Structure 1
């Protein structure tokens, strides 16, 4: 009996020693973040810089000791801007790579599809770029968050701006999928509330990744609109502008290109960007003139030799939101980080942003103005810049609850 007691005591001592030895190793396991984007096609001008933005944030955070004593690790996947591929990659990241969190996504259809995967596996998805309002409105749930604005915020803001202008005949142009239709709908609904006298004279819906915009350009010109509201974006916007200019398109009608004042597109367009074109922008390197933005611009320029485009800012911001939520939660446990993200305010390159607790939507707004030449840059920048904050245009909580069928 005494021998048995000694043996049991010895085994307990060994277990304690081993446990103590293994605990630090376990604590040093990285916090894995699955990053999903369409890395080619129309998305590439945004998503390639986005990867750099994520990497910059992770390197900065890890250089300061990581989060809770653990390094952050990115696992990057290409969803090819296809919802079924996004679902496949999300499942693989959760089940095989064992990521702690998901972020990224530029394609709104992919965002909605991956959101359902996040809900199924109770994994946080923090969308960094995709804009469909449905993600955080009628299709929102506990595990879906967004650190940027949405189609409703931007559509309503654009309507406020356009309602002050004399235009009456509007045409709508957008990519033929969730984002394009939702942005057009959110803009028109608000514009008609503010200006019941406006008319929608035509709509064109080119496919995402369209190469020949000629039929759409002709249809728009034939309708003789005063203003074209366009949600065509990224590589598609670049192609549209280049193909429309020989038709004298931008001298025959006014054109508001949502999000296309971003460096992601004005730099590739160079001298072909139409001076005076109405645009909005997700991020500008020259505003706000804050320590956070100046620091980001300097670091990005040192790393790449370029000024930071919006894609990089989107990703940098979402990564810091996740890191701050983990710190606040003092844990990587999903439910604790969900609670930490709800209502979280972070000082970002855009200024302080808050993710609203109920619907998980950031209050980030949008910059508006008209493209103009600047002697110090080889590309056009936004003149008469004005910022319309998300808090001015996002739905009220009662509106969101009604969309979700709640009281």
Structure 2
């Protein structure tokens, strides 16, 4: 009940403009898995709140207050669709945004197509959302499965490992990431083979049998795409069994503080990961974000904080770019839209509606009893995408 109350308060804070600014406001809907995945979505919410405060303190959208109405989908596609319907039909929002799990993102994307409303997919990583199931009304912010698979495969190709095993949650996100990584690594290294696959259900991993099966295949290296509680269980059991010893591990998302922090002294050494080393980024745009975030929240940001912040910045940018806030006007303005984010400027490509947001790649290690990233490189998103004309051919014909 406390969490429900906190969510209600959040919605009230975001929509507070309704109390005193019935005229001169622009309402936007946002949907996410707040109760199901608080480790990511709570920092995400704080990032949104910071961006919203900065925008409205600076005069809003051409003098109009930006109001974000939030809804919790509970990690369920059906609840996400109910929330989207309420936001569009009852609350009168001009667009929707958000989403965490890839299956929910795809459901919201289809809703956007059917209802002809703009959807900015904040977090869902599946490539289908902009390629095989892409549509005119959906644009995606985060560095995609294909992009991050390309970044990790680039590092994996440098390893002597030839025999690989994979572990990933058995739903759209895990399936599409593993497929992309296998395809890209095999092109870079035709000598590699994949000798085992494990597909545990999301949030229900039984790490012992999973790791036993992986170990039995005797791979040289392991690709992991589990996250959150599943990752903690996998690491703990793998450390106990010695499965990771003398094996290279490439692990998707593990360097994000949301997932790395809970490991503490169990953090494995030398895993190649994508993540967010907020403590080691010295760019002016990130420093400005970090200072403002810490001042407002008395806490350090997580990757979710960056995504939430950049989502609201995207919303403000598109609403500012055009005075035509009809769906057609907003969709047109989203194409080639440039948005400043803590990771630098990104562009939403007209050809496939994917943003060019980059990602950090490094290795895991421990410092002061806590997991961190080291050997860090920032990889520009545009460098890991197919050319727009080629990507456009991956999308359904309209």
Q: Normalising by structure 1, what TM-score? A: 0.88
Give, in angstroms, the shift of residue 154 of structure 1. 1.1
3-state secondary structure, aligned to 2:92: coil
CA contact (8 A) 2:134 2:396 kept: no
Quick check: 1:394 aligned with 2:381?
no
3-state secondary structure, aligned to 2:288: helix
Deviations 1:157-184 (A, max 9, x none): 2111111111111011111000000000
Instruction: Give 1:304's aligned residue.
Output: 297
Give, in angstroms, the shift of residue 396 of structure 1. 2.2
CA contact (8 A) 1:44 1:235 kept: no
- Please list every run of 5 or more consecutive structure 1 residues that lacks an aligned counterpart in the other structure: 1-24
**Poorly superposed stretches of 4+, deviation over 6 Å:** none
Quick check: 1:317 aligned with 2:310?
yes
- Counterparts of 1:232-243 in structure 2 under 5 Å? 232-243=226-237
Pairs aligned (count):
379
Quick check: 1:290 aligned with 2:288?
no
> 1:267, 1:192 → 2: CA distance?
32
3-state secondary structure, aligned to 1:250: coil
CA contact (8 A) 1:297 1:308 kept: yes
Give, in angstroms, the shift of residue 288 of structure 1. 4.1
> 2:81, 2:168 → 1: CA distance?
24
3-state secondary structure, aligned to 2:54: helix
**Change in CA separation of 1:279 and 1:208 when aligned onto 2, cut-off 3 Å:** same
3-state secondary structure, aligned to 1:167: coil
**Aligned to 2:338, which of 345, 363, 367?**
345
Quick check: 1:167 aligned with 2:158?
no
Deviations 1:348-375 (A, max 9, x none): 1001111111211011222211112345
> 1:400, 1:327 → 2: CA distance?
28
Quick check: 1:34 aligned with 2:29?
yes
Instruction: Give 1:202's aligned residue.
Output: 196
> 2:85, 2:65 → 1: CA distance?
23
- Counterparts of 1:7-406 in structure 2 under 5 Å? 27-28=23-24, 30-41=25-36, 43-281=37-275, 283-286=276-279, 288-374=281-367, 379-404=370-395
- Please list every run of 5 or more consecutive structure 2 residues that lacks an aligned counterpart in the other structure: 1-20
CA contact (8 A) 1:288 1:350 kept: no
Deviations 1:264-307 (A, max 9, x none): 112222222112222111x3314542222112111222232221
Deviations 1:230-263 (A, max 9, x none): 1112232223222322112322522211111011
